[in-house]
């Protein structure tokens, strides 16, 4: 027992300096008014129902992130399923190819979408040459969703893929043996057993999507600011650390609540996932 | 054969260029307990999986009740399987595991509840309905797997080494129980095992396999007493297998001595394998004995002693309830009907 505590010591020191202390600081900042005293005014300002601009941004952030997550799930689950069914020799390579774009710089990837989507960009040039007119996607909410999906899809695919390849093939055979057709095997055995991967994938996609500010700023323009943009703005432009901190705390609590709800679903299927 | 429920004809199967089954012919009657017995890699599990529909044969036909079922998927076959490691669904409790097949078949709720409870009672798991399958012991998981398969009233139950993971005592109990269930429900069992004792205890018919071929098909007693070749003799129980010559009908010789035997139908002076079971060798004083040797080892086995007797040309395995002292010179004799003469390398299905 003592030895275990000794081994844990460096991690506890690390955790208190780099995790616990910043959290406490952020929380303290969020309660500090302009006069230096403690007050809940930042929170009241955020939740002001007479002028709910911040709540609207929060709602937009959640909506955009949820939409991106759902699209990631709809694309990612079948993709992970197909990957898991591939020949053992090729599937790891194929999974690797899906992660490969992640090795490129995040900003670069997002900027490249700007050149694709902008008014005279690659997409519209292509559509124009086909005589299909042009579309205005850049600086809309859809551009943000597109950026999210593109950037976070691997985080959806990988955990689901990992869980799927671990499902014992004899369970599939047992289900077939008991009369289940292919679709029934999927819905009654494979999908329920893959829920931990889905929960993992959803949280790994939803969390960065709800807090992002780069994607929304580059692809969404000024009109589609998300909560992440507001927080960044408070720290870097408005110089109101207190309000920025308060919004961070609110966002954090929101994610915590969301994770708890998902953990309930995961608890039913037991197997551990990556994040929780 | 008109009364066969399952019939395999000319079945062969390759995996990656390696032949695992070669021209298998097998016919299983309704309500029969058939055991596929053989060492690992002999093709017994592959044969079972072909009947279950999990593998398709490269050549040959599978018939069920007279109809060819080669292309019928597993879910549409009237067979259920008990898998080697049970393959219980970890996300379902005991009740839902057993009810799985009935749910798929869309049976009414009250019927499902009644049949599941009935089946759990049959396998002595009443009261386990809400238990998590991961919390069960190996023996209990085994019973759930049995209940899950039998609740669907299959015509045929396939069992792939179902008792392999259990300890000896539990295994013996389950052997008796499985046999009782099979008789009570009147279901055809096709049972795969490498344990010869298990095969002899439970089966109506034993199918001994080796290297993808059927070596012999017969009743447990028939297979034990009249093994068709040295492999079967060696695999089923312990044996002394020695090279010999069939001089003429009813006379054979080995190691230069001539013996009376009960076999006929060999060509004159044909080279054969002679099999003598260790319990059929009797120790007598060396003076008048046809075989003599020196007791080399004595091992107590519980019911009997197992001894090796070294003679100039062969070391004999002998079982007796009376031990001898190591180093004693002894004689061995064997009754004519205990000398089993076998064609060299012969097997059933060999004609193809």
- Indicate if the pLDDT at residue B351 is higher than 50: no
How high is the pLDDT of residue B346? 64
Which residues, in sequence order, are bridge partners of residue B282?
B333
Based on the domain organization, do B245 and B171 belong to the same domain? no
pLDDT in tens, A194-216: 999 999 999 999 999 998 888 88
Instruction: Check CB contact under 8 Å for A177 and B81.
Output: yes
pLDDT band at A2 (very low <50, low <70, confident <90, very high): low
Q: Which residues pair with B214 in a beta bridge?
A: B209
Which stretches does DSSP call E strand in B140-200? 156-160, 188-193
Q: What is the CATH number of the domain that holds B315?
A: 2.40.50.140
Query: Is B233 domain-assigned?
Result: no
Whether residue B148 is found in the same domain as residue B262? no
Q: Do B100 and A184 touch (CB under 8 A)?
A: no
**Pairing mode, if any, of strands B188-193 and B33-37?**
parallel
> According to the model, what pLDDT value does residue A96 have?
85
Query: Using a CB-CB distance cutoff of 8 angstroms, which residues of chain B are in contact with residue A184?
Result: 104
Q: Dihedral (C-alpha) B229, B234, B238, B242: value to the nearest 10 degrees? A: 70
HEC string of A165-214 equals: HHCCHHHHHHHHHCCCCHHHHHHHHHHHHHHHHHHHHHHHHHHHHHHCCH
CB atoms within 10 A of CB A7: 9
Q: Would residue B180 count as lying in a domain?
A: yes
pLDDT score at A80: 94
Please tell me the predicted confidence (pLDDT) of residue A131.
83
How far apart are alpha carbons B53 and B35 in whole angstroms? 18
Model confidence at B159: pLDDT above 90: yes
Look at residue B350 and tell me whether its pLDDT is greater than 50: no
- What mean pLDDT do residues B292-306 have? 92
| B153 and B23 within one domain | yes
Average pLDDT for A176-189: 94
DSSP type of residue B266 = P
Q: What is the CATH number of the domain that holds B102?
A: 3.40.50.300
- A266: pLDDT confidence band, cut at 50, 70 and 90? low
Would you call B201 helix, strand, or coil by DSSP? Answer: helix
Verify whether the Cβ–Cβ distance A193 to B105 is below 8 Å: no
Nearest to B281 by CA among B271, B273, B293: B293
Chain B residues at the A interface, defined by Cβ less than 8 Å, are 52-54, 73-76, 79-81, 83-85, 87-91, 100-101, 103-105, 134, 148-149, 152
B342 and B328: one domain?
no
B285 in any annotated domain: no
| Pairwise CB contact (< 8 Å): B74 & A193 | no
**A173·B148 Cβ contact <8 A:** no
Residue A259 has pLDDT above 50, yes or no: yes
Tokens of B318: 């002998």
- Please indicate, yes or no, whether residues B153 and B85 belong to a single structural domain of this protein: yes
Range of the domain at B79: 4-225
CA distance B236 to B242: 16
Same domain, B261 and B214: no
Q: What is the pLDDT of residue A179?
A: 94
Query: Residue A133 has what pLDDT?
Result: 79
Dist CA B112 CA B96 (whole Å): 10
Judgement on whether residues B181 and B253 belong to the same structural domain of the protein = no
3-state secondary structure string across A53-99? HHHHHHHHHHHHHHHHHHHHHHHHHHHHHHHHHCCHHHHHHHHHHHH
CB atoms closer than 10 angstroms to residue B262: 14
> In B, which residues are within 8 Å of A171 by CB distance?
87, 89-90
Q: Quick one: B146 and B210 in the same domain?
A: yes
- Residue pair B346/B229 in contact (Cβ under 8 Å)? The answer is yes
Question: Rounded mean pLDDT of B82-98?
Answer: 94
Judging contacts by C-beta atoms under 8 Å, the chain A residues touching residue B54 are 173, 176
pTM of the predicted structure, to 2 decimals: 0.80
Q: Could you give the number of structural domains in chain B? A: 3
Q: Are residues B12 and B37 in the same domain?
A: yes
Q: How far apart are CA B62 and CA B59, in angstroms?
A: 10
Mean pLDDT for B137-160 is: 93
3-class DSSP state for residue A272?
coil
Shared domain for B127 and B71, answered yes or no, is yes
CB contact under 8 A, A177 and B84: no
User: Is residue A36 over pLDDT 80?
Assistant: no
Residue B347: predicted pLDDT:
62
Question: How high is the pLDDT of residue B302?
Answer: 87
Establish how many alpha carbons lie within 13 A of residue B291's alpha carbon, considering only the half-sphere containing its beta carbon: 25
Asked whether residue A102 carries a pLDDT value surpassing 90, the answer given is no
Q: Directed axis angle between helix A191-211 and helix A227-236, to 10°? A: 30
Domains of chain A: 42-269 (1.10.3720.10)
A268, pLDDT greater than 60:
no
Residue B38 included in any domain: yes
In a domain, B18, yes or no: yes
Task: Tell me: do B64 and B134 sit in the same domain.
Answer: yes
* Assigned domain for B282 exists: no
Tokens at B117, concatenated: 């409870």
Chain segment B17-74, per-residue pLDDT in tens: 899 999 999 999 999 999 999 999 899 999 999 999 999 999 999 999 999 999 999 9
**Weakest-pLDDT range from A122-131, B110-119, B137-146:** A122-131
Give A167: exposed, middle or buried? Use CB within 10 Å, 0-12, 13-18, 19+: middle
In chain A, pLDDT over 90 holds for what percent of residues? 48
pLDDT at residue B219, as a whole number: 95
- pLDDT at A191 exceeding the cut of 60: yes
The 3-state DSSP class for residue A100 equals: helix
Band of the pLDDT at B1, cuts 50, 70, 90?
Answer: very low
Residue B296 counted as domain residue: yes
On the question of pLDDT at B89 being above 60, the answer is yes
Average pLDDT of chain A?
88
**Are B247 and B200 in a shared domain?**
no
Contacts A176 to B, Cβ<8 Å: 53-54, 73-75
Q: How confident is the model at residue A273 (pLDDT cuts 50, 70, 90)?
A: very low
In a domain, B260, yes or no: yes
What pLDDT is stored for residue B111 in this prediction? 96
DSSP single-letter state for residue B244: E
Whether residue A272 has pLDDT greater than 60 = no
């Amino acid at each position: 027992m003592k030895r275990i505590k000794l081994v844990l010591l460096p991690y506890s020191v690390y955790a208190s300096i780099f995790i616990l202390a910043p959290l406490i600081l952020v929380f303290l900042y969020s309660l500090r008014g302009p006069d230096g005293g403690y007050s809940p005014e930042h929170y009241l300002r955020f939740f002001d129902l007479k002028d709910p601009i911040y709540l609207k941004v929060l709602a937009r952030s959640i909506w955009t992130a949820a939409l991106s997550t759902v699209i990631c799930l709809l694309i990612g689950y079948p993709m992970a399923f197909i990957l898991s069914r591939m020949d053992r020799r090729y599937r790891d390579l194929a999974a690797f190819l899906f992660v490969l774009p992640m090795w490129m710089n995040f900003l670069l990837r997002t900027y490249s979408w700007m050149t694709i989507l902008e008014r005279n960009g690659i997409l519209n040039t292509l559509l124009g040459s086909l005589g299909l007119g042009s579309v205005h996607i850049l600086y809309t909410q859809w551009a943000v969703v597109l950026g999210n999906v593109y950037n976070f899809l691997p985080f959806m695919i990988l955990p689901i893929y990992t869980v799927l390849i671990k499902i014992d093939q004899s369970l599939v055979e047992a289900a077939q043996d008991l009369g289940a057709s292919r679709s029934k095997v999927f819905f009654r055995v494979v999908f329920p057993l893959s829920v931990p991967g889905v929960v993992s994938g959803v949280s790994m996609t939803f969390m960065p999507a709800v807090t992002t500010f780069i994607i929304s700023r580059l692809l969404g323009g000024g009109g589609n600011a998300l909560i992440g943009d507001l927080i960044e703005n408070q720290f870097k432009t408005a110089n109101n650390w207190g309000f920025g901190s308060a919004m961070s705390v609110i966002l954090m609590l929101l994610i915590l609540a969301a994770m708890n709800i998902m953990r309930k679903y995961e608890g039913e299927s037991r197997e551990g996932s990556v994040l929780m | 054969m008109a009364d066969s429920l399952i019939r395999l004809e000319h079945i062969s199967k390759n995996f990656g260029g390696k032949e695992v089954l070669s021209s298998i012919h097998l016919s299983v009657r309704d309500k029969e307990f058939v055991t596929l017995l053989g060492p690992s890699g002999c093709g017994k599990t592959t044969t079972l999986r072909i009947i279950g529909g999990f593998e398709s044969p490269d050549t040959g036909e599978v018939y069920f009740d007279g109809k060819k079922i080669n292309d019928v998927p597993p879910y549409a076959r009237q067979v259920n399987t008990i898998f080697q490691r049970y393959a219980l669904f970890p996300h379902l409790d005991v009740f839902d595991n057993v009810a799985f097949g009935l749910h798929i078949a869309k049976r009414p709720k009250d019927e499902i509840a009644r049949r599941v409870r009935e089946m759990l009672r049959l396998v002595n798991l009443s009261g386990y309905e809400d238990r998590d399958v991961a919390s069960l012991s190996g023996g209990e998981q085994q019973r759930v797997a049995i209940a899950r398969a039998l609740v669907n009233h299959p015509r045929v139950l396939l069992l792939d080494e179902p008792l392999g993971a259990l300890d000896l005592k539990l295994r013996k109990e389950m052997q008796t129980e499985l046999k009782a269930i099979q008789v009570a429900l009147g279901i055809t069992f096709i049972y795969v095992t490498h344990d010869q004792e298990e095969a002899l205890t439970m089966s109506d018919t034993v199918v001994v396999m080796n290297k993808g071929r059927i070596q012999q098909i017969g009743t447990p007693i028939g297979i034990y007493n009249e093994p068709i070749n040295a492999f079967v003799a060696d695999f089923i129980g312990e044996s002394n297998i020695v090279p010999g010559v069939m001089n003429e009908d009813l006379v054979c010789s080995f190691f230069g001595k001539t013996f009376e035997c009960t076999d006929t139908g060999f060509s004159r002076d044909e080279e054969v394998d002679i099999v003598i079971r260790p319990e059929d060798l009797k120790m007598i004083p060396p003076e008048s004995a046809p075989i003599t040797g020196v007791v080399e080892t004595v091992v107590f086995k519980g019911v009997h002693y197992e001894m090796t007797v070294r003679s100039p040309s062969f070391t004999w395995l002998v079982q007796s309830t009376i031990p001898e002292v190591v180093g004693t010179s002894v004689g061995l004799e064997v009754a004519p009907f205990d000398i089993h003469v076998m064609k060299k390398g012969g097997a059933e299905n060999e004609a193809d």
